Structure 1
Amino acid sequence: MTATGLLCYCRQGFEPELAAELTERAAMAGIAGYARTKRDAGHVLFLCEDGAMLDRALPFSTLIFARQKLRLLAELPRLDPNDRITPMLAALADSGSFGELVMEHPDSEAGKPLAGLARSLGNALRPALRKAGLLRAQDDARLPRLHVCLLAGSHALLASSRPNDSAPWPQGIPRLRMPPEAPSRSALKLEEALLVLLDAEERARLLKEGMVAADLGAAPGGWSWVLARHLLRVSAIDNGPLRQSVLDTGRVQHLRADGFSWQPPHPLDWMVCDMVEQPRRVAERMATWLREGWCRHAIFNLKLPMKKRWQETRLCLELFAQQAQKPLTIRARQLYHDREEITVFATPITTRNVALPRRRRD
């Protein structure tokens, strides 16, 4: 059956937050619709009369609780296990040609057992799509991707994504490996933040050897270790100890101080912060760093409460933007390696993103 709207993936358990975000953002864009989901489904459908308009009105880069944003094309709730392909081809008959087929399932307890079926169905569906003229013979990154999301053996969602307005990874999840020398799992959070919240050009321009950074609440040192791997010089601020592997990089100086009260003796290129604290207090302190010019770029986490998490997210980001008192580029996302939190990247819009001069060492 034809369906129009958006299909968005999210962290299991955060469906209400994503549904609330989509509902509010659609209303702000003047588009009427409604969210459909259930707890722990790992995805949200937002249904409306004009899915193409909604897709354009809600850029993926502006969404916080969505790992992936797809334009919904059809919902097939009663597939025959003996022939799933024929109704899929019929539903896609007027959809044009796609550059790639992505077989998926929600990242949820109910969705994970469908991985094997998704692979085998994809192997059979690709040649059928090509024969019908719906899929290019070779992957073409210039064209929209076709996503087939299995909710059950007899239930599938068909959707599409534009390469420049969606995550490039299946399910919106970047596959990162934990290096054995990493001091903590939190290292993956910063690695993912740099990959998701900055594009390739920004990573090359904003992460250069010799740049200087502060890591507030650094212990045991996962985020300092990541910055050191990018060849930055880091002041790790924490009264707690750092892992020896962090100090062994030769790029990290451990300063025993309170991350909420410490301020740098000179402006820094970067400040990062992953402290367990009330999100509004963190937002206010991060705003101080940008307002006073203590850093040029920042990445920080906001730990969310158990209830009204979308409302708290919106409030904290508004508070941060207001108290920074300067135009900022702000991007926020609940990352795959996040838990009850979101990660925020901020940088002044008018700042030239170049390395600060190195200070002389007397």
Structure 2
Amino acid sequence: MNHLYLHCRPGFEKECAAEITDLANATGFFGYSKAEPGTALVTYVTHEPEGAYQLIRELDFASLIFTRQWFAGQAVALPDPKDRLTPLLAEVEKLPSCADWWSETLDTNEGKSLSALSKKFSRPFAQGLKARSLLRASSPLRLHLLFLSGAEALVGVSPVANSARWAMGIPRLRQPSQAPSRATLKLEEAWHHFIPAVEWEERLAGGMRGIDLGAAPGGWTWQLVNRGMFVDAVDNGPMAESLMETGQVKHHVVDGFVYQPKKPVDWLVCDIADKPARVAQMIGERAVQGQFREAVFNLKLPMKQRYAEVVKLRQRLQELFAENELNVQLAFRQLYHDREEITGHIRVTG
């Protein structure tokens, strides 16, 4: 397997391709990326015959910013619309055994149009896997099946422990009816991505204190309140009355860049629409000043050189923390609910 397939947000294929190429080279793998704009898919081809399979086990999936999901495999031609099963199962037999399998589509209109075919094909494919004993419960791998069209599909594998927890990397989150804006899902998804589920009760506990910079109308504040936290909501704009009625929110009518808390808090969240360098610097300085233990923040990306900008901002933050001898866990990800932005997470560890 020398093909690595990566799901990404439509329109960010260039950034996804640049990132996987850089990381592969740094890990000692060499190849090239193929990415067509608007397809939500990047293919990285390694020069080694089994390079993609080795790469997907050695690279840390959590370190990727623009990749939603990945798997190593091959494209399969399906010339006979009456028998797509035979060539697909023949290709699966060449792959390592997997514990389970996912049927996926690309996050495009064309990809979504194939969802009916994908669903219809799921049952016979599952029966074929069982009949040929191609699944093994103890395997650390997962099988992926992705239709590119009625005449072509991709099949491959990913390590369950080193890939996204959701098919195509898209979490199935419901918009809370009580939340004052759809932006609330960005913070919820960030927690799902950056915090292991077994640590939620400890790191997102009731009674904690939080700050929401750029809070109005309160989509992110709602998530903090819903976890039982007390929140300083900072914004010149109005907050949702329903949040103010909880008694857990204090509204500070002031610019988020100007506001300074009287005491350190457990959580700082920030969704201010401003230059990414300015926001990143502000969050970094607040970390150095000891204002929070953990933070989630969004960085609005420029129209051009988006990947280069992310690399530059990450390096600046790393240098700032090193200069101040601050130990932190720093990570970035373009979440499903992000648009022209990425989400950052900081956890101060010492």
The TM-score normalised by the length of structure 2 is: 0.95
Q: After the TM superposition, which residues 68-147 of structure 1 pair with which residues of structure 2 at under 5 Å, given as runs? A: 68-70=69-71, 72-136=72-136, 140=137, 143-147=140-144
Are the equivalent residues in 2 in contact too, given 1:5–1:54 (CA < 8 A)?
no
How far does residue 127 in structure 1 lie from its aligned partner after superposition?
A: 0.7
Are the equivalent residues in 2 in contact too, given 1:188–1:337 (CA < 8 A)?
yes
Matched residue of 2:2: which SS?
strand
Q: After the TM superposition, which residues 127-206 of structure 1 pair with which residues of structure 2 at under 5 Å, given as runs? A: 127-136=127-136, 140=137, 143-206=140-203
Give the equivalent residue in structure 2 for 1:26.
Answer: 24
Give the equivalent residue in structure 2 for 1:355.
Answer: none
Give the equivalent residue in structure 1 for 2:341.
Answer: 341
Q: After the TM superposition, which residues 271-290 of structure 1 pair with which residues of structure 2 at under 5 Å, given as runs? A: 271-290=268-287
Deviations 1:43-78 (Å, cap 9, x if unpaired)?
1111112112211232110000011122x2221134
How far does residue 110 in structure 1 lie from its aligned partner after superposition?
A: 1.5
Deviations 1:303-327 (Å, cap 9, x if unpaired)?
0011111001111111122223322
Aligned counterparts of 1:79 and 1:179: Cα–Cα separation in 2: 45
One-letter identity of the residue aligned with 1:124: P
Give the equivalent residue in structure 2 for 1:54.
Answer: 55
Matched residue of 1:287: which SS?
helix
Aligned counterparts of 2:79 and 2:306: Cα–Cα separation in 1: 36
Q: Cα distance 1:142–1:183, how it changes in 2: closer, same or farther (>3 A)?
A: farther
Aligned counterparts of 2:7 and 2:343: Cα–Cα separation in 1: 17
Give the equivalent residue in structure 2 for 1:38.
Answer: 36
Give the equivalent residue in structure 1 for 2:250.
Answer: 253
Are the equivalent residues in 1 in contact too, given 2:78–2:84 (CA < 8 A)?
no
Aligned counterparts of 2:138 and 2:294: Cα–Cα separation in 1: 31
One-letter identity of the residue aligned with 1:180: S
Deviations 1:270-316 (Å, cap 9, x if unpaired)?
10000000000011000011101011111000000111110011111
How far does residue 349 in structure 1 lie from its aligned partner after superposition?
A: 2.9
Give the equivalent residue in structure 2 for 1:354.
Answer: none
Percentage of pairs with the same residue = 40
Are the equivalent residues in 2 in contact too, given 1:41–1:108 (CA < 8 A)?
yes
Matched residue of 1:288: which SS?
helix
Are the equivalent residues in 1 in contact too, given 2:214–2:272 (CA < 8 A)?
yes
Give the equivalent residue in structure 2 for 1:15.
Answer: 13
Aligned counterparts of 2:28 and 2:176: Cα–Cα separation in 1: 46
Give the equivalent residue in structure 1 for 2:304.
Answer: 307
Deviations 1:208-258 (Å, cap 9, x if unpaired)?
111111000111111111100011110001111101122122211101111
Aligned counterparts of 2:289 and 2:96: Cα–Cα separation in 1: 52
Matched residue of 1:110: which SS?
helix
Q: 2:265 aligns with which of 240, 265, 268?
A: 268
1:65 aligns with 2:66: yes
Deviations 1:132-177 (Å, cap 9, x if unpaired)?
11025xxx48541110011111111111122211112111100111
Matched residue of 1:101: which SS?
strand
Are the equivalent residues in 2 in contact too, given 1:283–1:320 (CA < 8 A)?
yes
Aligned counterparts of 1:192 and 1:338: Cα–Cα separation in 2: 10
Give the equivalent residue in structure 2 for 1:332.
Answer: 332
Q: Cα distance 1:345–1:116, how it changes in 2: closer, same or farther (>3 A)?
A: same
Aligned counterparts of 2:191 and 2:201: Cα–Cα separation in 1: 11
Count of aligned pairs = 344
Moved over 3 A (4+): 140-143
Q: After the TM superposition, which residues 291-302 of structure 1 pair with which residues of structure 2 at under 5 Å, given as runs? A: 291-302=288-299
Q: 2:208 aligns with which of 198, 206, 211?
A: 211
Aligned counterparts of 1:248 and 1:142: Cα–Cα separation in 2: 51
One-letter identity of the residue aligned with 1:321: Q
Are the equivalent residues in 2 in contact too, given 1:141–1:163 (CA < 8 A)?
no
Aligned counterparts of 1:209 and 1:196: Cα–Cα separation in 2: 20
Q: Which runs of 5+ in 2 are unaligned?
A: none
Aligned counterparts of 2:76 and 2:96: Cα–Cα separation in 1: 19
Q: Which runs of 5+ in 1 are unaligned?
A: 351-362
Are the equivalent residues in 1 in contact too, given 2:98–2:139 (CA < 8 A)?
no
Deviations 1:329-360 (Å, cap 9, x if unpaired)?
1121111110000001111233xxxxxxxxxx
One-letter identity of the residue aligned with 2:279: V
One-letter identity of the residue aligned with 1:241: P
How far does residue 261 in structure 1 lie from its aligned partner after superposition?
A: 1.4
How big is the alpha-carbon RMSD for the aligned residues of Structure 1 and Structure 2?
Answer: 1.4
Deviations 1:7-58 (Å, cap 9, x if unpaired)?
1111111111100111111111121111112011111111112112211232
How far does residue 85 in structure 1 lie from its aligned partner after superposition?
A: 1.2
Are the equivalent residues in 2 in contact too, given 1:286–1:320 (CA < 8 A)?
no
Are the equivalent residues in 2 in contact too, given 1:182–1:245 (CA < 8 A)?
no
One-letter identity of the residue aligned with 1:51: A
Aligned counterparts of 1:205 and 1:97: Cα–Cα separation in 2: 37
Aligned counterparts of 2:279 and 2:169: Cα–Cα separation in 1: 27
